[in-house]
Structure formats: C-alpha cells, structure tokens
Structure 1
Amino acid sequence: MNSEYNDIKVIGFDADDTLWVNETYFREAELEFAKLLSRYETANKIDQELFKMEMKNLLLYGYGVKGFVLSMVEMALELSNNEVSNSTINSILNIGKDMLNKPVELLEGVEEALKTLSNDYRLILVTKGDLLDQERKLKKSGLTDYFHHIEVLSDKQETNYSQLLNHLDIKPSEFLMVGNSLKSDILPLVNIKAKAIHIPFHTTWLHEQVNDDETKDKAYKTLSSLLDLKTLLN
C-alpha cells in the first residue's frame, strides 16, 4: 500500500460524473433549450443567460434537474418578454422529464473498483443535488450494496464535510474523498486535512470550475480512472 494512505479507513465517492455520466445530459439539454428559443437570441447568448439564471436561483432551488428546468422556464419567459408559447414551455418540461428518465451509465471500472475497495475500506457515497433523483440513479446503478452510508448534501463546502465526518465519527486523517470536481470534491477536503483524489470527467459545469491559483500548493492526486485508484491504494 502507498504509505501516504496508511491511515485511510473510509473512502467517500462523489456520484455524478465520478461513478456515472451526468453532466453530458445537461449539455445536451442546453442545446435543445437553445434551439427552442432560437427565435429570440443566439445559442451562445441563451447559454450565458441560462447560466446566470441558474446561479441566481441556486439558493432557492439547489442543485439538480428540477432546479435546472425551473431556470429554463424562467429564462424562456424573460427572453421572450413573456410571449413564449405553451407548447415551448411544455417542450422544456419534457426536456427535464427526459433527463430524469435517462439510464444510468456507469463510468469505466467503477463497479470493479468498488467491489475490490469494499473489502478493505468502508465506502460512503457523498453527493449533492435533488434527493429523489439521486436515490433513483443510485437504485438504477446497482451500486447500493457497496456503500455503508449514503449522504445527499445541499452543498459541498468545508462545513458540510466537517459536519458529515463528525456525524459518522470519522477523523479527517482517516478519510479519502474521490471525485471529479476540484471545487466540490477535492479542495474542501484538503482544507480540512483529509485526503482527496481527483478523477476528471471530460466536461465540467462552469460553476464547478476553478483557476490555477485556487489549486496551487494543494495536496491532492489526479488519476485517470477508478481503476488507477485500486492500483494506488493496493
């Protein structure tokens, strides 16, 4: 075992874009939304304004598909000066329903890695977003039995992680977090003296992106897949 991780007893995993595909579906939905509103603005402008609307509504709706859909509806009304048709609103709602009904596509090596790691560590799922949607995806994933604990947080900041670790009686020095988002899965853990491993996904939501100054001198490792995590720890 890599001596750097000798004290690790519990491994936390992010869900979306760490265990299964998620952000890809949001990008596809944004393209469909831009097509629906193309008579009012350019695709680039619609995308920019929708992101602003999501940020404006984040504290009200939280993360997830449902808040995203409400932001699309509000954006459609604003861009059209409240003239958008009922048919278009219905199409926006159907975009959201389609997202919620997507199959769960596991990323490479996920189940194999969880199966192996669960023999030596307590595994917990630490995600954020809409509770019902995350429960649905977890059930469809077939991964539930690998986790000792499942937590859906309203946000992933240092305070959220500290409260969770305290609640589960886990010392930061004994905890390793694995995720695709530097902002949500890596930096908060490094800042509370836990370990973290970054496994990038090919696309990242603008809200989750960080600059080089934020990651400078931060102690975390980057791997290409969960299969590499097995190798690193074993």
Structure 2
Amino acid sequence: LGNMWAQDWSALYTKLSEEKQPLDITKTIKEQKWNASKMFHEAEDFFVSIGLEKMTATFWEKSIITKPDDREVQCHASAWNMHEGDDFRIKMCTDPSVEDLRTVHHEMGHVEYYMLYKNQHVLNREGANEGFHEAVGDLIGLSVGTKTHYEKLGLMKSTDKYNPTDILLMSALTKIAFLPFGYILDKWRWTIFTGETPFEKMNEKFWEYRIKYQGVSPPVKRNESFFDGGAQY
C-alpha cells in the first residue's frame, strides 16, 4: 500500500487510474528540482494570495524543513506555536513530492491559524475545537490540488491531458482510506482504557480490528512482543 500504517493509499494511484499516463505531479516536481525551500515559499505565496499573513522572520530562522545530517529527529510533520511573540515553527523532513507539497500547505495552515489568534489571552490560543485546526489545513490542501493551481505553479501545462476524476481518486485514496484506520486506533485504545482489552492481548486486539474494519493483514506473523498500535506517531 506504500504506507507503513496503511492509513494513506495514495501510492496506489498510478495503478488504479484508468488513464494510460496518470497525472504524476511528483515526477514533475523532481524534474524541476524543487527543494524544501521552494515548496515552503510557494506555500507562503499561496496563503498571501488569499489575504493571509507571510511567515515571520523567526519562522524561517528556526523551522526545520529538511532532515538534519547531524542528529536524529522525529520526522512526522508538525507545526508549533511557541507562545513567544512571532515564534511559530514547522518541523518536517520534506521530500520533493506532491504528498509533501500538500503537507507543507497543511502545516502552514496551522501556523496561519496560530498567527490569527496570537493576541488572544493565552488560555484562548487554540482552535475552536480539536478538529478545526486539521480542517483548516485540509481545506487549503484541497484548494492546492487543482489543475488551476498546478498550472500556476508551473507543474502542469494548459495543454496537459487532465481527468478530474483522477484528482477525486487521489483524494479518496488519501482521505477516505484514513477513516477506518483512525476509527480502529481510537476504538482499540479505548478498549485498553476500559479494561476490555488486557495488556497481554493488546496486539492481538489491534490486528483483530485491522482485519475486521480496515481489511488489511500483517505482512508477517505478529505476537504480543510487538506493539503495533503504538507505532503511529
């Protein structure tokens, strides 16, 4: 499936598309030699174009947008509000791919949200609810993944063959495929909290739910010496 947790099936896109030459934005990004800095500045330009703020000087100084060579880091992309003036940051080991281009916009969406409520009392510097921050980022991601915007970025030509269904397919493989994964992860952990699942059966229960709700099975035999449910960030 191309994803360690089977939460994102977008790697199957080129195999599932009915087009003989499926839209491959990642290939174009690599051919044009985009790097992390280019991807982040294009994301910033997008937010400015819709009336939002530029990233702060501190953001560009202190964010980590590529994997450091001198130390190990947690590469899961995340945005941070340091609650210190204009100190907002993103930590991400960015690769030149359409998936990471969307992720950059998503994480920068969090930062834009941080910036908009930075003058609120510290107790109010949070999203309207836990899902709202994610919704802002994903909304921007959907706007970015259009033919019009890809043309603006120079990643597509107006003459390129384009099947709108392919964009819907990519969205489905990215978002709909996540739903059962997200559901079973919460369902599984709550059975641990309530005592329904004993500690010595945690991995067994995890894979019971994976097979039942997500339809995926482990590539190799698992047992209780593994803690697969805790492998996700």
Higher strand proportion, which one?
1
Larger Rg: 2
TM (norm. structure 1) is 0.29
TM (norm. structure 2) is 0.29
